[in-house]
Amino acid sequence: MSAARGDVLVRLQGIGKDYPKVASGGDRLRTLAALLARRNDGPRFQALDGIDLEVRRGESLGLVGENGAGKSTLLKVIAGIVRPSRGTVGIDGRIGALIELGSGFHPEYTGRENIDLASALAGLSRRETRGKVDEIIAFADIGSHIDEPIKHYSSGMVVRLGFAVATALRPDILITDEILAVGDESFQKKCIAWLERYLSDGGTLLLCSHSMFHIQTLCSKALWIHHGQARMQGDRFDVTREYLAYHEEKTRTERVARVVAPDGRVPRIAELWTERADGTRADVFAKGETLVVQGLAFEPDDQAPVVLVGLVRIDGTPVFGALTNEDGFVPARIEPTRFGFALRFEGLPLLPGRYRARGHVLDAQGLRLFDTVEREFTVTGQTRDFGLVELPHAWSAGRGSDA
């Protein structure tokens, strides 16, 4: 990846894709004639329409949308598998598409023989493939099975080999379609570790997922596709929140529409900040000082929401989190639809380092998580202790032996 961060890698302009509807033999003949004459008529179904998109190097984009909204079709357009009916696609860089791992494999060949064709399909030349065979075999880590026909592999082993080929490609743009949950536990960890390194090295990821968690952790931006059109595009948290709001609206049949807040229809954290014991806002705290996480939650139905407030290390490792309903606290109604809360940590035991205060708002039952807001803060101090927090501890001489 030689080019600079921020270059446009993917540019879509007015992308549309129609699929012909062919029900009868006559339809097929008519479609054939239309295709040969390059006419756009006949019965058709519009899978995508008017999609504009730009993805820059180092950015990651998550696609959200209902089943059949056109997410996969859009990924296939970017990967070059589907030719759009309208609009232009421009790609700058090498694409790695993990649309279905192992789709180029032949069951009768050994794993080693299959690496050739799979890497040729992935866009590697003969020389590049030769140089990477060992790396691929090492990553797949399937031992002596590599010299057995693929048909004797478990489905997990096929996927491991497929992922290994894809990683060897070192793509500038990686396109995946909900495939992160593959293989056994340890291989999944390996995939996630690879992906995180890929992203921190400035890789660009296009991910299509129904997991808002995946979108929020792996992507910086999100695009919501609705009935083949871009409904919303922008910051990951904004888009996922609006997307969840849409689902909330869709499933809420029994409730009568109430006063709808202008800025959204789902509970969310309206504000979140960190402050000292005296109430001054701050983002640097000495170890042992008092930290207060203050916030304001928005609940459109004017019912006290459940709030989860926690502390995480800067890399995302959770340190501690507390739920209001577990602790028997009800956020206080400050004004209609707005509820205040504050969580106080006295004698902050966090070891020096960078952390984030994280606030979530859940529905009244505490089951569905709607929003995530984070504020970064630093803990200062001098200590040579290890880990995240200082636990109460005491040294002694010990007994010397087990007896």
Which residues of the shown chain bind another protein in the complex (CB under 8 A)? 11, 19-20, 22, 25, 28-29, 31-32, 35-36, 38, 76, 78-83, 88-92, 94-95, 97, 99-100, 103-104, 106, 108-109, 116-117, 120-121, 123-126, 129
Least distance in angstroms from the C-beta of 349 to another protein: 52
Phi-psi region of 182 (alpha: psi -120 to 50; beta: other; left: phi over 0): beta
Least distance in angstroms from the C-beta of 22 to another protein: 7
> Of 20 and 228, which CB lies nearer to another protein in the complex structure?
20
Least distance in angstroms from the C-beta of 19 to another protein: 5
Least distance in angstroms from the C-beta of 366 to another protein: 41
> Of 6 and 347, which CB lies nearer to another protein in the complex structure?
6
Strand partners, 44: 20
Strand partners, 269: 297
What angle, 0 to 180 degrees and rounded to 10, lies between the N-to-C axes of helices 155-168 and 185-200? 20
Least distance in angstroms from the C-beta of 226 to another protein: 22
> Of 124 and 307, which CB lies nearer to another protein in the complex structure?
124
> Of 32 and 284, which CB lies nearer to another protein in the complex structure?
32
User: Residue 217 carries which DSSP code?
Assistant: H
Q: Which residues contact 264 (CB under 8 A, 6 or more apart)?
A: 241, 242, 245, 298, 300
Distance CA 283, CA 329 (A): 25
CB count, 10 Å around CB of 282?
15
User: Residue 265 carries which DSSP code?
Assistant: S
| Cα 65 to Cα 73, 178, 233, 265, distances in angstroms | 12, 13, 12, 18
> Of 47 and 222, which CB lies nearer to another protein in the complex structure?
47
Least distance in angstroms from the C-beta of 109 to another protein: 7
CB count, 10 Å around CB of 254?
5
Least distance in angstroms from the C-beta of 271 to another protein: 42
Q: What is the Cα gyration radius of the chain?
A: 26
> Of 38 and 384, which CB lies nearer to another protein in the complex structure?
38
Strand partners, 290: none
> Of 113 and 196, which CB lies nearer to another protein in the complex structure?
113
233 class by beta-carbon count within 10 Å (0-12 exposed, 13-18 middle, 19+ buried): middle
> Of 82 and 136, which CB lies nearer to another protein in the complex structure?
82
Distance CA 30, CA 7 (A): 44
Least distance in angstroms from the C-beta of 101 to another protein: 9
Of 309, 302, 340, nearest to 326 (Cα)?
Answer: 309
> Of 38 and 393, which CB lies nearer to another protein in the complex structure?
38
Max CA separation in the chain (angstroms) = 93
Tokens 């849409």, residue located:
246
Q: Which two tokens stand for residue 27?
A: 């339809």
Least distance in angstroms from the C-beta of 347 to another protein: 57
